[in-house]
Amino acid sequence: MDKVNDLPPALVTGASRGLGAAIAEALSDSHHIVAVARTTGALEELDDRIQARGGSATLAPMDITNTQAMAQLCRSIHDRWGGVALWVHAAVHAAPLTPAAHLSEGDWSKSVACNVSATGILIPFIAPLLGEAGQAVFFDDPRGGEKFFGAYGATKAAQIALARSWQAESDKFGPRVHVLSPAPMATATRARFHPGEDREALAHPRDEAARLLALI
């Protein structure tokens, strides 16, 4: 059996670490994974884990803010498979915590580019690949209005607002859009936001991936 051709493809953006990587691994039991992330080494490690469990993946080491690269990837997916069964969007830029009055231009620009602009560009790119029967998954993390979360909270809220609009618009005819709420997890992003937190009390991304995928 040629899994690359016989399994339905699932596109995971932000697949190198944390929840995105855990979901890519879990999905590889039933899907061929197209894994997108900036870090080549982390993608290769993901590929090793997927292969160890009998799955298959196509690695796409690229930045989701590179519009031309993402357009070419979507074209390649169309040419090879005709579309995707599932898109899981786990990519995020987590700017350092800082008062709103001290936001750096660089962190703000990166937050807007990754969390908002890329989402607004990718939805029109990927919606035709999903068709009416496909599914898209986004992850809410409501931080808007919290102290020191200005860049992350504002841009993550904008991303989810866009996802919910798409969800409402596609309710009757598809694709089916999910906005899920992960439990606090022991990830690198969480560690940046809550240094010194007891990580033993947090959910493991692998367990949370299984719980969230069961919801769709």
pLDDT value at position 1? 43
CATH number at residue 53: 3.40.50.720
Four-residue CA torsion sign, 158, 160, 166, 172:
negative
| Full residue range of the structural domain in which residue 65 is found | 3-214
User: Do 20 and 90 form a contact (C-beta atoms < 8 A)?
Assistant: yes
User: Do 22 and 205 form a contact (C-beta atoms < 8 A)?
Assistant: yes
Stated pTM of the model: 0.94
Four-residue CA torsion sign, 116, 121, 124, 130:
negative
CA distances from 145 to 152, 154, 155 (A): 10, 8, 11
Bond prior to 96 in cis (omega within 30° of 0): no
For the stretch 61-80, pLDDT in tens is: 999 999 999 999 999 999 99
pLDDT value at position 6? 85
Mean pLDDT by 10 residues, the chain (216 residues): 76 97 98 97 98 98 98 98 98 95 97 98 98 98 92 97 98 97 89 86 95 96
In the chain, how many domains are there?
1
Please report which residue ranges of the chain form alpha helices under DSSP H: 3-6, 18-27, 40-52, 67-81, 105-111, 118-130, 150-169, 188-193, 205-214
Q: Compute the distance between CA of residue 194 and CA of residue 183 in angstroms, rounded to an integer.
A: 14
pLDDT value at position 191? 84
Q: Which residues of 35-64 are buried (b: 16+ CB within 10 A; e: fewer)?
A: bbbeeeebbeebbeebeeeebbbbbbbbeb
